[in-house]
Structures are given as structure tokens and as C-alpha cells.
Amino acid sequence: MKKRRFEKGFTLVELILVIAIIIIIAAAIFVALNPAKRIGDANNSQRWSDVNQILNAVHQYAVDNSGSYPNQATWAVTNYYVLGTAAAGCDATCTAQVTQAACLNLTDLTTNNYLGSIPDDPVTGTAANTDYYAQRNAGGIVSVGSCDTYGGATINVTR
């Protein structure tokens, strides 16, 4: 008589069951982490940083230049402008504010070393159209904000 040998190992059913459990756990973790929200929040954090950086540079420029703002000749009081180098089409991209057609070129901030470069939106910005806007009033109050945000957040700093 032959003795039946039992080999050690897992059956196919056991392997499929373990793999299915691992997939379910991985899916639950993926949903709990919500990567789209995390990426959106990270982009909004970058926007907050960029807006503050631009506003600080504009104010420092004004302090160093006896109250004159960069590109003041084309930066009309109370008008909103998207920042960038484009001469037209800047009013079509900003969803947060109604802006002028021409972008406001603030490259004076980079050539005079107030900024390394003009920041642009982490998702949609370019040098021609940064997707950040700026406005100044007659009293010297400047507002800088982000045209686009994640989750409907309002990103705007005024000083």
C-alpha cells in the first residue's frame, strides 16, 4: 500500500482569497487617503505662498522706490490685472475676478532682485499668464490673489 503524502503549501482557493483581501484593504486605504484632495490642497498651499511672495515683493519695491509700484504706468488704479507677459487674452482665464485684457508685467520685480522669478499657478500658470491677479487702489492698498483654486477656496491677500 502506498501512503499518501501531504505536500505543504497553499491551495489555489487560499491564494485567491488572500489576494482578494489584500486588494480590498489597499482600495480602502487609497480611498481614505484621497490623493486628489491631497494634491488639490498642496496646490492651494503653493498658491497661498506665491500670493504672499508676490505681495511682499510689490510692497518692498514700493518702499525702495518712494511709493512707486512696478510698471506703474500701465497699472491703472482699481483695475484687476492677471500677472504675466501676454499683451492680450488675460481676461479669459481668471475665474476669481474680472480682469483687464492685457496682463500686468511685473518683471521689474525679478530684474531688481525682489523675486527670483514671478511665480505662476502650479496647475495652469505660465510666464505669459501666471493665473495670479493683482489690483491696487489710490491709497496704496494692494491685493494679490489666485485666479484658480481647488475646492472653491478663495486665495486673496490684501495689504
Residue 146: closest CA among 158, 136, 156: 156
pLDDT reading at 105 higher than 80? yes
Which pLDDT value is given to residue 56? 97
Single-letter residue type at 47: R
Give 22: exposed, middle or buried? Use CB within 10 Å, 0-12, 13-18, 19+.
Answer: exposed
The edge-to-edge listing of strands for the beta sheet with 132-136 is: 81-82, 132-136, 142-146, 156-158
Relative to beta strand 142-146, strand 132-136 is antiparallel
Please state the rounded mean pLDDT for residues 2-6. 67
Question: What are the pLDDT digits (tens) for 41-71?
Answer: 999 999 999 999 999 999 999 999 999 999 9
Question: What are the pLDDT digits (tens) for 107-133?
Answer: 999 999 999 999 999 999 999 999 999
Percent of the chain exceeding pLDDT 90 equals: 91
**CA-to-CA dists, residue 32 to 28, 37, 39, 69, 151, angstroms:** 6, 11, 14, 47, 18
